Amino acid sequence: MSDSNTGGGANSSTAVAVAEEPEETATIDIEALEREGDIAADYIEGLLDIADFDGDIDMDVEGDRALVSVVGATLKELIGERGEVLEALQELTRLAVHRTTGTRSRLMLDIGGYRESRRKVLRKLGTEVANEVKRTGKAKELSPMTPFERKVVHDAVAAAGLHSESEGEEPSRYVVVYPVD
């Protein structure tokens, strides 16, 4: 009791609480993300059945997101020309998870490895544009991209030591890469 009345005791108990909190949060978060993945997988499986598409569903937790992947047969119809259908399915899946859990979901849906192949292309693009901006000293605007695509480019630009920002309004939001000041 006397420890809680002294400055040092209060700080010590606060430090202990802070040190313990991330462990509990990490465990709870992983369980919640796994639950999101299960809900999403059930939802996607139902959609595949309705549309009479074949595909296996893999679930994982990647960082702070549930990742649900549909692999197997040709699923180009579920991806769309530039991933538009995939983006729409991801939003519908997030809504289904939200409806069940009551919390906003950041889950990532991938179909046929599309996101992973896009990620490779976009990393390369981000690195190449960063090198061009370093060489010319001039900012460069890129074409409009989805939030997923912009995030990958921002990460690649940051890894190259430059700064980038998203500008514009959806669906025409784009990345601008800036030279070092």
Q: What is the mean pLDDT of residues 128-143?
A: 98
Segment 114-125 shows an average pLDDT of 96
Q: State pLDDT tens for residues 98-108.
A: 999 999 999 99
Q: Give the three-state DSSP class for 142.
A: strand
CATH number 3.40.50.970 is the correct assignment for the domain at 117-178: no
Residue 130 corresponds to which tokens in the numbers above?
């960063």
Nearest to 145 by CA among 109, 113, 112, 121: 121
- pLDDT at residue 74 in the model: 67
Give pTM, 2 decimals: 0.74
HSE, side-chain direction, 13 A CA sphere, residue 19: 6
- pLDDT at position 1: 42
For the cut 90, the answer to whether the pLDDT of residue 163 exceeds it is: yes
Q: What backbone torsions phi and psi does residue 83 show, to the nearest 5 degrees?
A: 85, 10
Rg (alpha carbons) of the chain, rounded to whole number: 21
Instruction: Tell me where in the chain the CATH 3.30.1370.50 domain(s) lie.
Output: 117-178
How confident is the model at residue 64, as a pLDDT?
Answer: 87
2-112: which CATH topology? Answer: GMP Synthetase; Chain A, domain 3 (3.30.300)
The single-letter DSSP state of residue 105 is -
**Residues of each domain in the chain carrying CATH 3.30.300.20:** 2-112
